[in-house]
Each structure stands twice: as structure tokens, then as C-alpha cells.
Amino acid sequence: MLEARWAQSLFVCVGLDSTFDKIPMCLHRPGNETKVDIANTIVAFNHQIVVATCDLVCAYKPNIAFYEENGPEGIAALWRTIADIHVTAPDVPVILDAKRGDIGSTNHGYVELAFNFLGADAMTIHPYFGAEANEPFLEQTDKGIIVLCRTSNKGAGEFQDLVMAGRPLYLHVAEHVANDWNTRGNCAVVVGATFPDELRKVRDVVGDMPILIPGIGVQGGDVEKTVLAGKDSHGCGIIINSSRGIIYASNGADFADVARLKTMELSDQINQYR
């Protein structure tokens, strides 16, 4: 699915980090909203974003935390959003940004939630428990397993930059994923756009494996540096995510039109540097 989108020069991933309080008031119901009203508003907002951008993106990435905060109705809103994407934009994969990872028996539950209940096409996971524990994810041959490697937050280096056997930990993670975990060809890694030098080093290690790259937009990642550091040998291989910079670009009734405009602008920038 990703390769088909890349073939159309589409590399933008829209992060559906939809928070009720930030959704334009034109979608709110007057009065005190119930959890059901909140869920319906989130679903309606996401739908309009998807309709406006689906011909411009390579993926959508809802972060599960923004749905979990609203309890069962929030999870239902996430399920409804993913189902809607599969109908509205069936050729666009959905990445569930859940960052799960535990012992193997627990991971079976995460797999059931992400893929069999919610219907996601890919999922972000932690590497810390190792390949043995993460086998329930890795054995999903028809799903994308996207492993955290070098994250976009300012304090990421506290552990990820620790040097072991002459190399920082994040490069060991990249090497293990590329050489040992990806035997089924379903793995990718996460590297933040806020660290282009590290992104370049990871690309050197993982070859043409896909890289999910958050941190563009509000977090301050530079598009030119990100593309030059992250693209693979074919000028592809990148899933460049922007969330708040696209979905909250306008708080008015034109929010979907502005989201489309911002997506087009980012897509054009990416292709300028490929």
C-alpha cells in the first residue's frame, strides 16, 4: 500500500491526533456535550479531514492516546474513524500510533486490539522487550510493524544516545530491526525529523526499509534536511508525519480546506527535495 502511494509521489502522513477542545466550534453541539457527543464530533472532524486530504497522503496516523482519554466512547470513535478511512480512502494505510510493547502473552492482546478489533494496517511498538517478546507483532505478515528507534522529543537522547560497543543505542535498535526482525519484510522504524543527523545514520543502517518520520510542523523539523537524510536509494521510503500543523491549521469552518492546503504545501516541499 505504501509503495503504491509513493509511486504517486505521496509521502505525507496526516496524524489524526484529534482533541475535542481543539476541534473547530462549527462542529460542536451547543450546551454540555456528553462523551457520546464528543465521540461523534471527533469522528465527524476526522471524516472531513480525510475527505479533504485522502488523494494527497501516503498514510493516516491516529495516536491512540487522544481517543483513550475519552474512555469507551473514545475507543469507539477510533474504531469508527479507521473503518471510515477504509471506506473513504481504501488505498491509504492506517498506522495506529500506540507504542505498545510487553511480554509476549500481553502483546497478543495488543495485536488483537490493533489489528483484529480496530482494523489498523500498521502499528508502532517499543523495542525494549526484544524480538522474542515482540514476536506476536512480528508474525503479522500482512501488517506493518513500526519500531521506535530515535524519537522526536527533546529528551530522547537520555537513553537512546547511550553508547554501547562504540555505537549509540538507537543504531543498535535500527540494526537489529533491519537484520534480525524483518525476516518477513513487514518492519519499519521511527526516527524524528528533529534529529536529521541521526536520521541519516539510521538510513545508512536500515537500507531501503521504510522510516516513519514525526516531528515536522509544530515540533520544528526541517523538511529539506529530513528528506535529504531520510529518503532511500530510490528517493522514497519516507512517511513524513504532520499532525497539529495540518488538522488544526484553521479553527474556522474552512478547517478541512485549510488542512488540504497545508497537506499540499508539505507534499510539494517534500518532492522538491527528493
Active-site annotation, residues: 99
- Report yes or no: 42 and 23 within 8 Å, Cβ to Cβ: yes
Q: Cβ atoms within 10 A of the Cβ of 220, count?
A: 10
- Report yes or no: 151 and 194 within 8 Å, Cβ to Cβ: no
Residues with Cβ within 8 Å of 139's Cβ and at least 6 positions away in sequence, in order, are 184
Q: Is 167 helix (H, G, I), strand (E, B) or coil?
A: strand
Residue 104 grid coordinates: 509476549
Question: Positive or negative CA dihedral for 95, 99, 104, 107?
Answer: negative
Q: Is 218 helix (H, G, I), strand (E, B) or coil?
A: coil
